[in-house]
Structure 1
């Protein structure tokens, strides 16, 4: 397991935070640091056709070692980390033989990873955990996935007696800001199907995700001296507050689960004369998703109608853009690719947890680009924050799942 730990740490200690405000690909120059490192490592372990394009998309091939025809499969992960929490100067901590008690991440700042709050910790008692030091995220999302794919390919190269077909691997930038698949060359990748190694706890297997959209609303106002404001001032911040109050109050991330969708206000910034509100809209059901977008538009329209005469025109503008759609529509016609992964887990003694993703992965966009792409666990927990951790044993199991999928795909019918 030390090999896995060393590889993972060599990845997470490279800062690859992406930037949603950048218009380049990758969105930050520092993503090239790990991208170039990965290219050299793939060559060193013996992968073939190792390429990196002008946008830092990496692809490589493990040739088939069987004579009969076998589908070409792929495994994909992303190397950027979320801008939600800093990924600079990550100092991983190794907790061996976890005792099931509180883990002190940072004594000085009294930051504790506790099973009293994060109950999932208890299922890893006796295992080796990698945690943060309480001041950064860890980057298991998705450097655990990269670790697993590289290690699985290395294992197959070193053990040629394990039969497999042609395997393609791909590593992408900017997944965390929703652009990971935007410039992915599906035709060049040339796989019949693929799997993203980007899930959380051991056993997760997902082929459903949210339909997703982002909304940006700009509220205008009129600034007048408060002493003479009667009937004249329009405070755009209060209009924004009125809009937010009209959203269904129980349909938020903190009050929904499973297939339940939500509205989530992610940002608000304003003054009397102008306030901008950003929110995301999510739902697994396409009809409900479209209805949610209409709800936002209707609330904005009512505010415009109410203030049209006083303001002299529309007082709020609303822009809604779709981000991605539920991959289920594209994966169900080829459901055998999910069944292969499920069988692989069962043969390894892993209980498959098949459930919808309350989010999205590169795979959902890739599925609509012609590459059906379910999602498999990478092992990490508490992504995007200082309480992130990953059990090394879960990474080991993910490596075994990749190898087993390759075996099952190559087996003669």
Structure 2
């Protein structure tokens, strides 16, 4: 267990925060620091064909150790961390034999990780937790996944008595800003299917995710001296507010769960003359997803029509961009790959939690690129913020799941 702790800490203390405003790949130069470290580590543990391209995508191979033919399978994780919260100067704290109570992350700032608010903590009483110090995120998303994949490959190399087919490893930059699969070379990867190790709590197994779109709106105003503004001034901030008020008030992230979709306003910046609003649209159901996009278009159309005579042009500019789609459509025809993962968990006394992802992973886009790719737990909780933590025992179990999947797959194709 200490080996996994040491490896994980060596990864999370490297700042790899991605930047959605950047036009390069990777989006931040500092992602190279961990990428290059991973390349050397993969070579050191004995993987073959270790490569990194000019955009920091990493691939490596563990050759088959059986004589019969087994489909090549892969395991994928991302090494960037979310720009939602600082990933610089991460100072992990280790809580051994967790007593089930409050955890003081930062005494000076009075930041407390409490099971009264984060009730998932209760299931980890007696275990070893790794937390933040309350000033950064942790980076278990997805450096826990990387830790588990590297450790599993190392274990298989050290235990040749465990039979497996060819296994490929893939590590990507920029997943947190929706670009993790942009330059992933599926053909070079050469797998029939893969698994992303990018889920949360122990037991999670997911093959459904949101259909996703990003929306950018620009509201145009007219600035006039407020003392003489009657019938002339148009306040773009109030226009933006009027648009937001048209969105269904209960169809937001904080009021939805399961298969329920939502609209989420995640950025607004403005002045009297011009206001920019960004939101995301999410829904598991494709028809409902398209309906949500149409709803936004209709609201904007009505606003433009209302102000057309006074303004002389569209008062709202709208851009909707599809980001990814529900991988269920690509995984359902090969559901046996989910069955293998479920069997692996059951053989390890892990209760599978098969549920939809309320988000997306590299796997959703990879599935549409020809690489069916369900998602498996990596163990972390409260991603993208200062309350993030990961139970070490969950990382150990995720490592065991990878090994077991390799073993079951080889056995499945034994003649």
Interval containing the TM-score (normalised by the shorter chain): over 0.9
Correspondence list, 1:5-154, <5 A: 5-154=5-154
Between the aligned partners of 1:257 and 1:66, the Cα distance in structure 2 is 44
SS in 2 for 1:356: coil
Structure 2 residue aligned with 1:295: 295
Match of 1:383 in 2: 383
Counterparts in 2 of 1:200-239, with a 5 A limit? 200-239=200-239
**C-alpha distance in 2, partners of 1:122/1:13?**
27
CA–CA distance in structure 1, aligned partners of residues 190 and 70 of structure 2: 13
Please name the residue that 1:244 is paired with: 244
Secondary structure of the residue aligned to 1:5 is helix
What is the aligned partner in structure 2 of residue 397 from structure 1?
A: 397
Cα RMSD for the two superposed structures: 0.4
Secondary structure class of the residue paired with 1:363: helix
For residues 155 and 44 of structure 1, what CA distance do their matches in structure 2 show? 13
Between the aligned partners of 1:272 and 1:309, the Cα distance in structure 2 is 20
Alignment of 1:187-336 (within 5 A): 187-336=187-336
Structure 1 partner of 2:159 = 159
- Can you list the C-alpha shifts for 1:256-294, whole angstroms capped at 9, x where unaligned? 000000000011111111111100000000000000000
What is the SS of the residue equivalent to 1:100? coil
Q: Secondary structure of the residue that 1:160 maps to in structure 2?
A: coil
Question: Could you list the runs of 5+ residues in structure 2 that have no partner in the other structure?
Answer: none
Q: 3-state DSSP class of the match of 1:146? A: helix
How far the C-alpha of 1:388 sits from its partner, in A, is 0.2
Indicate the SS of the match to 2:82: coil
How far apart in 1 are the matches of 2:21 and 2:193?
32
Matched residues in 2 for 1:363 and 1:51: separation? 21
1:352-411 residue CA offsets vs partner (Å, 9 max, x unmatched):
000000000000000000000000000000000000000000000000000000000000
Shift of 1:182: 0.5
1:172 aligns with 2:156: no
Q: How many equivalent residue pairs?
A: 413
* SS of the residue 1:322 aligns to: strand
1:313 positional shift: 1.5
In the alignment, the residues of structure 1 paired with residue 234 and residue 393 of structure 2 have an alpha-carbon distance, to the nearest angstrom, of: 59
Return the TM-score normalized by structure 1.
Answer: 1.00
5+ residue gaps in structure 1? none
TM-superposition CA deviations, 1:39-96 (whole Å, max 9, x none):
0000000000000000000000000000001010000000000000000000000000
Shift of 1:245: 0.2
State TM-score, norm by structure 2.
0.99
Runs of 4+ in 1 over 2 A off after TM superposition: none
| SS of 2:94 mapped into structure 1 | strand
SS in 2 for 1:367: helix
1:220 CA drift (Å): 0.5
| Matched position secondary structure for 2:126 | coil
